[in-house]
Amino acid sequence: MHLVPPTEPVVGRVVENTPCTRGKSASFVRHISIDVGGTALEGGFRAGQAFGVVPPGTDSKGRPAKVRLYSISAPSNGEDGAGKVLSTTCKRVLEEIDMKGTDPDHPDRELKHQLFTGSCSNYLCNLQEGDEVMVTGPAGKRFLLPEEPERHDYLLLATGTGIAPFRGMIKDLLEAPTPSKSDVHLVMGVPYTTDLLYDDFFRDLASSFPNFHYHTVVSREIQPDGEPGGYIHHYLDRQIHLHEDLLSRDRTLVYMCGLAGMQLGVFKMMAERGLGDAYLKVKPDYAEVAPAEWDSHSIRKYVRPTHRCMLEVY
């Protein structure tokens, strides 16, 4: 970790910046590849870690902009196979916000509704091929594939850009000289079908590798079978016949990356189905509370992931 510390960023160069949504989507998500060859980051990152970006300029208080972390979506040997090119999956942050209650000195404070454009995500998404960008990292030591990947099967759960680390990990597993024989189930949750990220890539992999299974969960559309849209835990629960066996094996690891709400939903589902023991540990103070009553505040305090459950939720 921290081969390049936040105080001494190095210069990377953008080599690719392309949309990664499926067709026309209301959200803008881009796959951005950065050449870090010749810096301390070259060959020094792994799928599942993050790297830092230092945007140019200053913050609203005139201080130098701080480093922001982005999940690496490249495999551990980089997009180029030689560890020189890392990548990320970046969504433009566009929100309508109420300026009241923000910084009292903000010039737009009296305006009620304003478009807020996340400064670093839009800076990154605007970069052109050849542009320089200041980078740091890597960061993260737990959300990684295990040392002996073949000894495990995997349930990988992502919402939105939470897919980034899984793209890299799945490439590590399946695009290796000897592709993994482990069972890998990827479940991807998005609002609309057009928001599916790297969809063609995962579909192609699923048709090439019988041990790779790609599941999509669309929250705001009626499903092809007439069922309403839902979240990842609804899908896992509905399709429990597909996942019960996987979750019951003592070699399975579960990874979740994306919205924090997913952790609550999935933990409740596992506990209610009697499948949670390997993946979550309930503190004694909370043992009497039925899983149906768990809430996001309490699970952070009383329900901890075990060594077989990796979380990257925000």
CB of 314 to ligand A2P, least distance (A): 10
CA distance readout (Å), 258 to 130, 158, 166, 177: 30, 6, 11, 30
Cβ closest to ligand A2P, residue 43 vs residue 261: 261
CB of 51 to ligand A2P, least distance (A): 20
CB of 240 to ligand A2P, least distance (A): 16
CB of 283 to ligand A2P, least distance (A): 22
CB of 159 to ligand A2P, least distance (A): 4
Peptide bond into 107 cis (omega under 30): no
CB of 232 to ligand A2P, least distance (A): 5
Cβ closest to ligand A2P, residue 44 vs residue 265: 265
Cβ closest to ligand A2P, residue 47 vs residue 259: 259
Cβ closest to ligand A2P, residue 220 vs residue 283: 220
Cβ closest to ligand A2P, residue 162 vs residue 168: 162
Amino acid code (one letter) for 172: D
Cβ closest to ligand A2P, residue 123 vs residue 267: 267
CB of 158 to ligand A2P, least distance (A): 9
Interface positions with ligand A2P (CB under 6 A): 27, 159-160, 189-191, 195, 219-220, 231-232, 259, 261-262, 265
Cβ closest to ligand A2P, residue 3 vs residue 313: 313
Pairing of strands 85-91, 29-35: antiparallel
Buried b (16+ CB within 10 A) or exposed e, 129-157: eeeebbbbbbbbeebbbeeebeebbbbbb
CB of 156 to ligand A2P, least distance (A): 14
Residue with tokens 């699923």: 206
Cβ closest to ligand A2P, residue 20 vs residue 232: 232
CB of 192 to ligand A2P, least distance (A): 8
Cβ closest to ligand A2P, residue 181 vs residue 220: 220
CA distance readout (Å), 136 to 55, 127, 150, 210, 274: 11, 17, 31, 38, 42
